[in-house]
Structure 1
């Protein structure tokens, strides 16, 4: 029988909203495939990112931060189809959300890699040891990391633990596969992230984005923002068109960087 020299694993990323799941996913996949924002619920569906090298292939699944009811967590995990769970905590926050996760973890047979994120924001490091002792009583931890995903502090060791414990399997995806996101979705998410960066309050949630091009990754990409009110259109455009210029220019740069291709971005705003 031919010896399998490759390893493959599927890893689910869980945690509350704004805990840093998308930031960590982008780091692990070595590509920005998931929108990062301080605003709530920016990840609305499961996003798959795949890390590839000659030996190891790791499928990471980023989940929406609003999956924290016991039933939804249990339904997600009941088939034990994942090799690991990356459970991310926001500093030392612990509420009913984390409690629900911990109760479901006790009923499944999936190793838990626990990650305390945003270490850069914890000024008094003396609180960590009691907190870790508390966590060990709550969760059967396979391994624990204390990191800052945003600043890439203490993140590289994650690969060593994961890769050293992956099952020996043939790779599931092709070596060039990165994400389940289509080109249109990636473009839309890049633009949505910049809308959230340059506009405030509820406006980003009121914009529907349409991506139009004659062929995938054509040199010119046409974008339509659909809004309901003329006032929203004025806010998006901004004084002297400053807002829309910032959104367009930054989005254009991000899209070119992702696809490694020169493009021209055109944006129209229409009242729906």
Structure 2
């Protein structure tokens, strides 16, 4: 009986804050698992997304934009386990942040793939030609993709080409996995994204989200209590809003996104408590 070969690879996604790493991850795996916001440093943890297609499996790791702090990027690159590194660039932006990245990347042996994102915001695409020439002088790379992750422009080619380059290897995750994150973590991410959308301050980053439901439950319950721990009463007033409008919007958007992700209608109760 003929055995079917399996192919697996791991890819680290790096780049400055708000460059579109999370949007690209969600686009590549076809599911929204990483929080997206126009605000800087939205992603605070490494988020893993798994792309599965027949005998192919790709593990994508989305990293925080503040990866330089505490030498996080050096720690990630030490084990050398990645097949490729995606270095995401925002159109033709380049400053000391990209210089820091290239200084490190030019010292490693892992193949680099450059991805120029947000090309939908470029009025004149011709400016990319001198920029690409500039990049060739700055960093060694094996592939270059020019995309818009937000609008899914030219993103299909990424998975297709990576699959062709994967080594023969046993899949690390079950074929029905899309992320290694727990249901509670994903719930928290959905709630936090809704808070960030409706509260345009630094407040969302100081909120601690706690979710209560029995651990023994295999599936999510129909109703979930979610506690938002804040620092003071003033913050409580901001989250609630006039006539409770902000809190209602957060609840409505969160329930909608929870239903889209888990394919189940879940009623959430939001409770605000001072730490």
Normalised-by-shorter TM-score class: over 0.9
Distance in 2 separating the partners of 1:254 and 1:58: 25
Under a length normalisation based on structure 2, what TM-score does the superposition of the two structures give? 0.94
Under a length normalisation based on structure 1, what TM-score does the superposition of the two structures give? 0.95
3-state secondary structure, aligned to 1:188? helix
Distance in 2 separating the partners of 1:243 and 1:71: 38
Aligned to 1:235: 238
8 Å CA contact 1:88–1:114 kept in 2: the answer is: yes
Distance in 1 separating the partners of 2:46 and 2:85: 14
Q: For residues 25-79 of structure 1, what are the alpha-carbon distances to aligned partners after superposition, in whole Å with 9 as ceiling and x for unaligned?
A: 0111111110001111111111111111221100000111111369543332133
Aligned to 1:253: 256
Measured after TM superposition, the shift of residue 261 of structure 1 is: 1.1
8 Å CA contact 2:4–2:55 kept in 1: the answer is: no
Question: 5 Å matches for 1:91-110?
Answer: 91-110=91-110
Measured after TM superposition, the shift of residue 127 of structure 1 is: 1.3
Aligned to 1:111: 111
**1:210 aligned to 2:210?**
yes
8 Å CA contact 2:82–2:110 kept in 1: the answer is: yes
Q: Number of aligned pairs?
A: 272
3-state secondary structure, aligned to 2:142? strand
Distance in 1 separating the partners of 2:30 and 2:163: 15
Aligned to 2:229: 226
Distance in 2 separating the partners of 1:228 and 1:171: 44
Deviates more, 1:95-104 or 1:135-144: 95-104
* 1:69–1:222 CA distance, 2 compared to 1 (3 A): closer
Which ranges of structure 1 fall in alignment gaps of 5 or more residues? Answer: none
Distance in 2 separating the partners of 1:99 and 1:208: 34
Measured after TM superposition, the shift of residue 177 of structure 1 is: 1.5
* 1:265–1:165 CA distance, 2 compared to 1 (3 A): same
Distance in 2 separating the partners of 1:134 and 1:257: 42
Deviates more, 1:161-170 or 1:186-195: 161-170
Aligned to 1:164: 164
**1:6 aligned to 2:20?**
no
8 Å CA contact 2:29–2:50 kept in 1: the answer is: yes
3-state secondary structure, aligned to 1:100? helix
* 1:4–1:167 CA distance, 2 compared to 1 (3 A): farther
